[in-house]
Each structure stands twice: as structure tokens, then as C-alpha cells.
Amino acid sequence: MAEGISMANFSQDKIPRTKEEIFSHCKGMLEKMEGFIKRKRWGEYLRWQGFIIGCLWVVEEYNCSKEAVLLSIFSVIEILVSLDKKDESQAFIFLGFIQGCLWSIGEYTLEEPKERNRPKRRYK
């Protein structure tokens, strides 16, 4: 990231409004990724790496429409589903890329995908 970009812990339930907010959140992620490397949590590291790449791609390529970004995401999904099981590291990067793109264009907050992946609680 560029010097002079402040690091922020972006609110999990907000949509970014500016590219500065996107950059700031990504810079904060980079600081935390070092811990993933130290603890050998490669899946999380690679997914976060993909997320940052997706965010930066959207910020740099956002001259096109939101629909064009979504079409590009569909192309990435086609690649993702065609991957062989042994390509797990690529799958983590692609998954992160898709999440970063969707967050950057305002389709999801950071919390919404987490909520969708959590098991539903059953009450007696």
C-alpha cells in the first residue's frame, strides 16, 4: 500500500464509501496477515490476500460499471468451480478476490458473508 494511507479497523456492518476507506481497511488487513504466516494459517492468509487483490482491482478498474465487475466475478466463479481439489490454495485466493470485489462495490458488508456461513442455531 502507499505511504500516507491510514490504517483503520473498518466497521464490519458498513459498506465502504470511498477508495480511501477501502485502502485503509486493506492496510489494516496486511498488518494482521503477518500473524497468519507466523501461525501457519495458510488458508486464511491466501483468502485475505485474494480479498485485497479484489479490492485493489475494483478501485483501479471501477471505470467500468458495477454490472461489468459482477460479470468479471462470474468468470472467476467459473474458474473456481473448475479447479481440481489439489488447487486449494488457488481456491482460497479466488474466494477472497470475489469477496473483496463484492465488498468494494457495496454488495455486502464484511459481516453479511460471515452470517451466511454460520450454522443456524436450533433452539429447543
Q: What pLDDT is recorded for position 9?
A: 65
List, in order, residues 6 or more apart from 53 with CB less than 8 Å away.
93, 96, 97, 100
Q: What pLDDT is recorded for position 5?
A: 58
pLDDT above 50: residue 119: yes
Instruction: Grade residue 111 by pLDDT with cuts at 50, 70 and 90.
Output: confident
Instruction: Grade residue 49 by pLDDT with cuts at 50, 70 and 90.
Output: very high
List, in order, residues 6 or more apart from 33 with CB less than 8 Å away.
45, 48, 49
Return d(Cα 101, Cα 124) in angstroms, integer.
Answer: 39
Distances in Å between the Cα of 72 and the Cα atoms of 31, 61, 88, 94, 103 are: 28, 11, 21, 12, 14
Instruction: Grade residue 33 by pLDDT with cuts at 50, 70 and 90.
Output: very high
Q: What pLDDT is recorded for position 8?
A: 59
